[in-house]
Chains A and B, each alone.
Chain A
Amino acid sequence: MASIVHTEEVMGTVVSFHLDAPRMGEAALSVALGAAVAGLHRDDETFSPWKPQSPLSRLRRGEIRLEDAPAEVAEVLALCEVAGTLSRGWFDAFAMPGGVDPTGLVKGWSLERALAGLVEAGVTSAMVNGGGDIALHGEPPTGGPWRIGVRHPWRPDALAAVLEVERAIATSGEYERGRHLVDPLGRLGPPPASATVTGPSLTLADALATAVAVGGDAALGLVAAIDGYEAYLIRADGTEAFTEGIRFADADADA
Chain B
Amino acid sequence: MDFFLEVLTGGLLAGVMYSLVAIGFVLIYKASGVFNFAQGAMVLFAALTFVSLWEHGIPFWGAFVMTLLSMLALAWGVERVVLRPLVNRPPITLFMATLGLSYVIEGLAQLLWGSQVHGLELGISDEPLEVGGMLVSQFDLFAAGVAGVLVLILSLLFNKTRIGITLRAVADDQLAALAVGIRLERIWMIVWAVAGFVGLVAGLLWGARLGVQFSLSLVVLKALPVLIIGGFTSVGGAIVGGLIIGASEKLAEIYLGPLIGGGIENWFPYVLALLFLLVRPSGIFGERAIERV
Say if A and B assemble together. Answer: no
